[in-house]
Amino acid sequence: WQGEVFVVTDRAECVPPSAKAVAVPPMPADNDRHAAVKYGKQFKQQLLEILPLSESHKYVLYMDMDIFIGTPIDSLLTQAIADFEEKKAAIAVVREGTGINGEDDFYQTNRLKPDQNKYHGGMFLISRSSASKVCMEQWRKWYTSPL
């Protein structure tokens, strides 16, 4: 991959020189485990606002730090963008339970039926379009709303 890599973190000193750190405030110390997880995940919905994007950045491919891709990222990204544009999507997400990369094992382990497929928010593609902006804002409102 020859493009830019941004790392959203509260510990910019840990980001290697090959990436650009995007500093966010550290989690408040008094948060419990659930609040801590939710705090960290809230920045996903704010990527279009917090990343230092230039006009040359048309898309953002987000991946959680525990996502592993076993093929060159350029072919994955090229196909994802083509599908995204063809469908005029606001967001493209990975659908779990497709039988790829051990997902069948996940469903057997967790006793889920094959028709209980879930979308995985740990990897997604968005653009700088108004549709993606609205989608991310709606996701943020839902995610931060009280239960």
Q: What is the pLDDT of residues 24-52, one digit of tens each?
A: 999 888 778 888 888 888 899 999 999 99
Identify residue 40 by its one-letter amino acid code: G
Q: Which pLDDT belongs to residue 28?
A: 82
Q: Which pLDDT belongs to residue 88?
A: 94
Q: Which pLDDT belongs to residue 57?
A: 94
CA atoms of 71 and 105, how far apart (whole Å): 21
CB 5 within 8 A of CB 18: yes
Tokens 């497709």 -> residue: 98
Q: Which pLDDT belongs to residue 71?
A: 75
CA atoms of 84 and 53, how far apart (whole Å): 19
CA atoms of 124 and 61, how far apart (whole Å): 6
Evaluate the CA torsion angle 119, 143, 61, 36 in order and state its sign. Answer: negative
Structure-token pair, residue 145: 């709303």
pLDDT, averaged per 10 consecutive residues of the chain (147 residues), comes to 89 95 89 80 93 95 85 84 94 69 49 59 92 94 82
Q: Which pLDDT belongs to residue 77?
A: 87
Q: Which pLDDT belongs to residue 100?
A: 54
Q: Which pLDDT belongs to residue 73?
A: 84
Evaluate the CA torsion angle 23, 129, 71, 95 in order and state its sign. Answer: positive
